[in-house]
Amino acid sequence: MKRTTWLSMSTVLTSVLAIGAFATCVENAHAQSPELQQRVAEVKAASTQNKQALMSFNWTEQVTISLKGDVKKVDHYQVRLGPDGTPQKTSLDAPAPPPSGGRLKQRVVANKTDEYTDYANSMKALAQQYVPPDGALLQQAYAQGNITLEPVPGKPDAVQLVVHNYLKPQDSMTLVFDKVQKALLGVQVASYMSGPSDAMTLSVQFSQIPGGPNHVSSMDMNGVSKQLNIATQNSNYQHN
């Protein structure tokens, strides 16, 4: 009998804690300011509209990969968004010549190249999960009380939305948003790859296509532990 009573009390306690956690989440959402709710909705709408509008454009992308301050590779691509919204890239560069030297040297060079190339590709994949910001993840962060609204010094028409635990625990993302133009101006991200000790930072600047949508003009990624930098420049936007 005592065992049954204890199990019943444990079940009740678990239910109470779950209800309390849900109530806290709801309370956090309602405690947010009306302006914050409005800005989150505007960022979500702007991101969706821009992504749709950019599907009718193609552009040129330059990607510079540097390791420990030394430029290792510069690639050029023609880019357009596919039907699912993911970038489709066509190389504009001639095939690279094989490395000089004997077979052993060639193998060492190839292994080092593969190592930083794989890591660079992982960095790019992670960056794509932050930019453009995902509407569902933004709404989740808002509901959990993980977004704060701050002014931008010297820019009265802009605000900062500081988001914590957006994609990973303890990450942060700051969105600089123009209240008048309803457009993102910049994004700053502090995240990580395999774990918090494997940090990655991301800095993004946006520009406006004349008479068209907003777009990423530059993106700078830093893999801190590997001392790997990826600098991307986008230009020459044209209708498909």
Give me the domain span that covers residue 17: 1-31
134: domain CATH number? 2.50.20
Which letter does DSSP use for residue 66 in this model? E
Same-domain check for residues 116 and 51:
yes
Same domain, 186 and 159: yes
Do 124 and 27 have their domain in common?
no
What is the model's pTM? 0.80
Q: What is the pLDDT along the chain (240 residues), one digit of tens a residue?
A: 444 443 444 443 344 344 444 444 444 444 568 999 999 999 999 999 999 999 999 999 999 999 999 999 999 999 999 998 889 999 999 887 766 665 655 554 455 666 788 899 999 999 999 999 999 999 999 999 999 999 999 999 999 999 999 999 999 999 999 999 999 999 999 999 999 999 999 999 999 998 889 999 999 999 999 999 999 999 999 999
**141 and 22 in one domain?**
no
Whether residue 25 sits in one domain with residue 86: no
Residues 25 and 41 in one domain: no
Please choose, from the candidates 194, 198, 197, 188, the residue with its C-alpha nearest in 3D space to the C-alpha of residue 163: 188
Backbone angles phi, psi at 70, to 5 degrees: -100, 130
**27 and 40 assigned to the same domain:** no
- Residues 6, 125, single domain; the answer is no
How confident is the model over 62-74, as pLDDT tens digits? 999 999 999 999 9
Q: Verify that 122 and 71 share a domain, yes or no.
A: yes
Q: Measured between alpha carbons, how far is 230 from 223 in angstroms, rounded to an integer?
A: 8
CA–CA dist 127, 137 (Å, integer): 15
Instruction: Give dist(CA 91, CA 127) in Å, integer.
Output: 20
Per-residue exposure over 119-130, b if at least 16 CB sit within 10 Å of its own CB, e if not: bbeebeebbeeb
Whether residues 10 and 109 share a domain: the answer is: no
Same domain, 41 and 27: no
Task: Kindly state whether residues 24 and 115 are assigned to the same domain.
Answer: no
Question: How many independent structural domains does the chain possess?
Answer: 2
As a whole number of angstroms, the distance between CA 36 and CA 46 comes to 15
